Amino acid sequence: MSQELSVRDFRFMYESSQTDRLIRRYYRLAFKALKINAFKSKEAFLFTMRFFYQHPMNLEAYVDVMDDTLMDLETEELSQDDVSNIQTIIKGLGWIYSQDQVLYKKIRSTFLELVTETFVKNKQSFSKSVIHHEPEVMIRRKPFFDRSSNWNQSRIDVVALNYRKKQLILAECKANLNGFFGILDLGMRFPERLNAQRKNAFRRGRNKVAYLGKFEERCQELKIASEVSSVMTTFLDSRVSFRFPNLLDNGKIKLLFAEDIANELFERVG
């Protein structure tokens, strides 16, 4: 690439799968209602994030799940408005929880993506039109990374570019951050313990982390003036609960836990 490059040379191709688009379209009203109520207050937001973290699958009867959830809520000091709002959220979650297992998991992961997009739009002042879902990132007509790199084919969940400010955000959404990094930790220390399925998960995860960590460096190599932020969002409540901080000690990827997102979003609202 002989000519000077800029952020305007980025191209975002072949975005999210048809299944993902259908999920968003078909369940848009359910997502809209859940977002409206979850974003009414910090407490409602954290309740919703905690519910999805604690229930990655919908195997238990919802009435039993709610009995335990309501008992936990009794120990918290909530305003009447928060109690009323959370009760509305519980009704909406009941409908989502009643879907089949595959669909429930897909709705759950999509909600984290929507939370991440809201954070990017509201906190980082990005417009909806510049947010892309799992795109193949190109520079002009060529892949951003060399084809020889192992992570070239990785797709990041949410990619946003502010052309005027030359700011680029890459956000990977991982519902269970401990599970994700647990596979990476196991694969690096005891690769012989990985079965075929876990080997694939390890390879994909390692490439995702490399993609996020090396994106800014690649911009510098191509002499693209830009401010790059690579983040990972999660339902996990806080850094205290994260078991693998040693795997991200270079500072190139920022972890955004549920409490981090809530603090930043509702600080802005307040």
Taking only the tens place, the pLDDT of each residue in 116-125 is 999 998 876 7
CA dist 110 and 22 (Å) reads 11
Alpha helices in 98-195 (DSSP H): 101-123, 177-189
Nearest one of 2, 15, 6, 9 to 158, comparing CA atoms: 15
Nearest one of 86, 72, 81, 84 to 34, comparing CA atoms: 86
Q: Specify the pLDDT at position 121.
A: 87
Orientation angle between helical segments 196-221 and 177-189, nearest 10 degrees? 100
Per-residue pLDDT tens over the stretch 47-66: 999 999 999 999 999 999 99
Residue 255: its H or E element: strand 253-256
Angle at 81 between CA 77 and CA 82, to 5 degrees: 50
**Two structure tokens written together for 131:** 């947010």
Alpha helices in 124-236 (DSSP H): 177-189, 196-221
Cα torsion angle, 123, 124, 126, 131, sign: negative
Q: What is the pTM assigned to this prediction?
A: 0.93
Q: Specify the amino acid at residue 58.
A: N
Q: CB of 30 within 8 A of CB of 88?
A: no
CA dist 226 and 255 (Å) reads 21
Angle at 183 between CA 54 and CA 115, to 5 degrees: 45
Q: Specify the pLDDT at position 267.
A: 78
Residues 6+ apart with CB under 8 A from 153: 207
Residues 6+ apart with CB under 8 A from 190: none
237: DSSP letter: -
Which residues of the chain, if any, have pLDDT below 70?
Answer: 1-2, 124, 128-129, 249, 268-270
- Cα torsion 123, 125, 128, 133 to 10°: value is -60
Orientation angle between helical segments 18-26 and 28-38, nearest 10 degrees? 70
Q: Specify the pLDDT at position 270.
A: 42
